[in-house]
Copies of this chain bind each other. A is one copy, B any other.
Amino acid sequence: MTAIAESRTLSSEELEARLRAVGEERYHHRHPFHLLMHEGKLTRGQLQAWALNRYYYQSRIPIKDSLLLARSDDAAFRLAWRKRLVDHDGESGRGGGIARWLLLAEATGLDRDRVQSCREVLPAVRYAVDAYLDLVTRKSLLEAVASSLTELFSGRLIALRLDALRRHYPWLAKGLDYFEARLSQAPEDAQFALAWVRENARSRAEQELAIAALRTKCDILWAQLDALYFAYVQPGWPPPGAFRPQEP
């Protein structure tokens, strides 16, 4: 690509195509841990490790969204984004995504207190998730919003996963409400964020920052599964103090 082509502002269709290409290349639907999961090849212990570690990610999502809310001075934007807090934290008397994730963890056979304590989370998972909070805190609001666009790609992955989990791990069935809910929540959120990025990434430099932020977010998701795969699937090792499945 020449320097001239680099600096030409993309049409919003071109920008969307570039963003979607990032997902095709880097979203964690391609990660071998997910491939094993969907082929029914994970043990209960490995699914426990997944549920326990990903709980840390889930538990940080409303914190991420609160940090992001705090950065906008546009009440209409904040109102739209606030839906995500409701999705994840729930409303009085009705649990949200975090509560549903705990049901999933319980369905794998883990005690809820143990999961909520986050004491046995892999350090590498913790660092990756914290890098997400850092991105949302320190980068531009545009980059923070663009990093959420992995939700553009989650619908297809979740539909596939729901089917695979029901088929291969029937004992998980009562823990799948989280994914059911995400099937409708994520596309709405993603459409809002995509429209906002298309509108607000005005120069080519801003467009490239948005694309790079989405790439970074894909790295963050990918790194969590790398850590899980290498500690619990390959003959690797959880670091001292991390979760060890009783049934390997």
Q: Which residues of A contact B (CB under 8 A)?
A: 25-26, 32, 123-124, 126-128, 130-131, 134, 215, 219-220, 222-223, 226-227, 229-231, 234, 236-237, 239-241
Main secondary structure of the interface of A (DSSP, over half): helix
Q: Which of B124, B128, B130 is close to A134, meaning CB atoms less than 8 Å apart?
A: B130
Q: Which residues of B contact A240 (CB under 8 A)?
A: 25-26, 222
The CA of A85 and the CA of B144, in the complex, are separated in Å by: 33
Q: Which residues of B contact A128 (CB under 8 A)?
A: 123-124, 127
Question: Which has the most chain B C-beta neighbours within 10 Å: A123, A134, A223, A237?
Answer: A123
**Sample of 22 A–B contacts (CB below 8 Å):** A25-B240, A123-B131, A123-B219, A123-B220, A124-B127, A124-B128, A124-B223, A124-B226, A124-B227, A127-B131, A127-B220, A134-B134, A215-B241, A219-B239, A219-B241, A222-B239, A223-B239, A226-B230, A226-B231, A229-B236, A230-B230, A230-B234
The CA of A222 and the CA of B231, in the complex, are separated in Å by: 13
Q: Which residues of B contact A237 (CB under 8 A)?
A: 32
The CA of A220 and the CA of B219, in the complex, are separated in Å by: 18
Min CB distance, A64 to chain B, in Å? 15
Q: Which residues of B contact A241 (CB under 8 A)?
A: 215, 219
Besides A123-B128, A234-B236, 11 new A-B residue pairs in contact (Cβ under 8 A), listed by A number = A25-B240, A124-B226, A127-B127, A127-B130, A127-B220, A222-B240, A226-B230, A226-B239, A230-B230, A230-B236, A234-B234
